[in-house]
Structure 1
Amino acid sequence: MKKTVVLGASPKPIRYSYAAVQQLTSKGHEAVPIGVKDGEIDGIEIIKGTPDVEDVHTITLYLSPPRQAQYYDYIFSLNPKRLIFNPGTENLDLIQLAKDKGVDVEVGCTLVMLSVGNY
């Protein structure tokens, strides 16, 4: 299954990033939640900062465009094959950078993709 970094993960159960981690793991994917607040999601610790993560297939974004800029170098250092822009995270500059680097870009909802089986 695909290792997915959930960038912008929140320890609050009402957040979509929280649900994404839950759904990814329930579907057999390895989720790596990275956020700015301490906490956990169903026993998976939210990692703060910019940790080294190997074999990343997908990064799914839950950060608004202004908050993404500080992560550009980090995102590409993980060598993802795919970058998902969830609703509200669309960023034309980052989309173009990703395409220029050969990263597949999807603008869509991770939760919907998982629920309909096209993740």
Structure 2
Amino acid sequence: MKNKKTLVLGASENTARYANMAIHKLLSKDQSVVAIGQRAGEVEGVKIQTKQVPFTNIDTVTLYLNPTRQRDYYNYIISLAPKRVIFNPGTENPEFYQLLRSNNIQVEVACTLVLLGTGQY
């Protein structure tokens, strides 16, 4: 079922970070994962990129960036044309919701870990 690709934005090698936990959980659920973070690194074989890589076939973007840091990624995320963007707790951003919806991208205010844990991902 590795057809749906998820971009974890705000990825970290720090195992205490939710973005790191999300990468592990996504992989355990057989999801394809790509990642972008502040620092280059690797989580379970997934390389953390530091630049806005023009990934293709992104189904979901899961955000682990605060609203101020998200601004640098508005156009980038829209250019990827994902089906949905998940705003994890602490990343809520009504300004960005509107922008995404006007580009026909679904907005989900939820916790990726909870969605995966309850089979709603």
TM-score past 0.5 threshold:
yes
1:26 alignment partner in structure 2:
28
Q: In structure 2, how many angstroms separate the alpha carbons of the residues matched to 1:118 and 1:99?
A: 21
Paired-residue identity, %: 49
Q: Does 1:98 align with 2:100?
A: yes
Q: Which residue identity lines up with residue 64 of structure 2 in the other structure?
A: Y
Q: Give a deviation string over 1:18-52, Cα, whole Å, max 9, x none.
A: 00011101101101111110211012110111001
1:49 alignment partner in structure 2:
51
Query: Which of the residues 7, 10, 13 maps onto 1:11?
Result: 13
2:114 alignment partner in structure 1:
112
Under a length normalisation based on structure 1, what TM-score does the superposition of the two structures give?
0.97
Point out where structure 2 has 5 or more consecutive residues left out of the alignment.
none
Q: Give a deviation string over 1:55-91, Cα, whole Å, max 9, x none.
A: 0000000000000001101001101010000000000
How many equivalent pairs are there? 119
Q: In structure 1, how many angstroms separate the alpha carbons of the residues matched to 2:79 and 2:46?
A: 23
Matched residue SS, 2:58? coil
Matched residue SS, 1:57? strand
Q: Mapping of 1:57-68 within 5 angstroms?
A: 57-68=59-70
Q: In structure 2, how many angstroms separate the alpha carbons of the residues matched to 1:43 and 1:80?
A: 23
Once superposed, what is the RMSD of the aligned Cα atoms? 0.7
Q: In structure 1, how many angstroms separate the alpha carbons of the residues matched to 2:4 and 2:109?
A: 18
Matched residue SS, 2:96? helix
Under a length normalisation based on structure 2, what TM-score does the superposition of the two structures give?
0.96
Q: How far off is 1:16 after superposition?
A: 0.2
1:88 alignment partner in structure 2:
90
Matched residue SS, 1:60? strand
Point out where structure 1 has 5 or more consecutive residues left out of the alignment.
none
